[in-house]
């Protein structure tokens, strides 16, 4: 097992890719903290892990709220006494509210940035001190093609938040390299999860998004899991500051 004896926090692990990664981390031997705002989804992930004889706890967490993030990290330390992996996955895409720059409200900009970017910094802020004590850790941020290219017209707040995640990956990698805390980002492609279900309901949009990926299909939630395990494990000991694609080739063309 590639993550034996490691403790992993996965944010937004109640659905989509976060759930797939939490299940996979547990299968690889990690003790998993499911940090999720929606109790039903978070508890279902923990039950699925336990049914498969893995170890996990659910901690209700709104990652945009500093007191909740702080409490989640405290609970993790009380339960497992260490943090080896932080998988910063939780995010929202506010369909129908995110918009072109001049049409976007400050409220939607702020909400998107609080959940997608500020949260990534906040979870890191509280998870890093135990990692410094342990002299090691792996932090993985989930970015997006929209943070690299203008490939999602009309999604100003979301794209800008994901661009911020890329910058945060690099500055944190530089800041903590000598502490043996590695910081990398995964860029998923268009992936069939609840996040983009409102888009995929439209057959025309589904066909267009499918055709955009050179591999000729949409991503499935588990398509990021192998990369996540690699970056979380000691196999990636010399990898930090990297932006890794699991996008079906979307950003290569
Ligand atoms: N689906 C895609 O096509 C796609 C593409 C590129 C990047 N991404 C990124 O991948 C990551 C996972 O996306 P997904 O498609 O699996 O999303 P999803 O919407 O399917 O799942 C996200 C999970 O995060 C939780 N969450 C939302 N707000 C939260 C908060 N404030 N605190 C804690 N949990 C919260 C949700 O309840 C949900 O369980 C996100 O960072 C997303 O931006 C997704």
For the chain, what percent of residues have pLDDT higher than 90? 100
- pLDDT at position 221: 98
Q: How far is the CA of 179 from the centre of ligand 1 (A)?
A: 29
Verify whether ligand 1 is closer than 6 Å to residue 15 (CB atom).
yes
In a domain, 208, yes or no: no
**Rounded mean pLDDT, 118-134:** 98
In a domain, 164, yes or no: yes
In a domain, 203, yes or no: no
In a domain, 2, yes or no: no
Residue 85 β-bridge partners = 8, 138
In a domain, 202, yes or no: no
- pLDDT at position 132: 98
| Best probe residue, ligand 1, of 24, 90, 228 (max atoms within 8 Å of C-beta) | 90
Predicted confidence band of residue 114 (pLDDT cuts 50, 70, 90): very high
In a domain, 153, yes or no: yes
* Residue span of the structural domain in which 31 resides: 7-193+220-246
CATH number, domain containing residue 88: 3.40.50.720
pLDDT 10s digits, 15-72 = 999 999 999 999 999 999 999 999 999 999 999 999 999 999 999 999 999 999 999 9
- pLDDT at position 232: 99
In a domain, 46, yes or no: yes
Q: How far is the CA of 216 from the centre of ligand 1 (A)?
A: 23
Verify whether ligand 1 is closer than 6 Å to residue 146 (CB atom).
no
Separation CA 251–CA 144 (nearest Å): 10
pTM here is 0.99
Q: How far is the CA of 77 from the centre of ligand 1 (A)?
A: 25
- pLDDT at position 112: 99
In a domain, 117, yes or no: yes
| Total of domains in the chain | 1
């Amino acid at each position: 097992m590639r993550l034996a004896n490691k403790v992993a926090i996965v944010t937004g692990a109640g659905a989509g890719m976060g759930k797939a990664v939490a299940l996979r981390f547990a299968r690889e031997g990690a003790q998993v903290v499911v940090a999720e705002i929606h109790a039903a989804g978070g508890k279902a992930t923990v039950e699925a892990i336990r049914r498969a004889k893995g170890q996990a706890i659910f901690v209700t967490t709104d990652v945009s709220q500093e007191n909740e993030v702080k409490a989640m990290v405290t609970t993790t330390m009380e339960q497992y006494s260490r943090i080896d992996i932080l998988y910063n996955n939780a995010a929202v895409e506010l369909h129908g509210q995110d918009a072109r720059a001049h049409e976007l409200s400050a409220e939607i900009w702020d909400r998107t940035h609080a959940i997608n970017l500020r949260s990534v910094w906040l979870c890191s802020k509280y998870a890093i001190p135990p990692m410094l004590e342990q002299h090691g850790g792996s932090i993985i941020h989930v970015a997006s093609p929209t943070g690299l290219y203008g490939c999602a017209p009309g999604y100003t707040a979301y794209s800008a938040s994901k661009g911020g995640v890329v910058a945060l990956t690099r500055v944190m990698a530089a800041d903590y390299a000598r502490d043996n805390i590695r910081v990398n980002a995964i860029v998923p492609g268009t992936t069939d999860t609840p996040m983009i279900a409102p888009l995929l309901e439209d057959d025309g949009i589904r066909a267009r998004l499918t055709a955009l990926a050179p591999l000729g299909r949409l991503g499935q939630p588990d398509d990021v899991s192998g990369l996540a395990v690699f970056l979380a494990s000691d196999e990636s000991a010399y990898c930090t500051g990297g932006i890794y694609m699991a996008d079906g080739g979307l950003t290569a063309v």
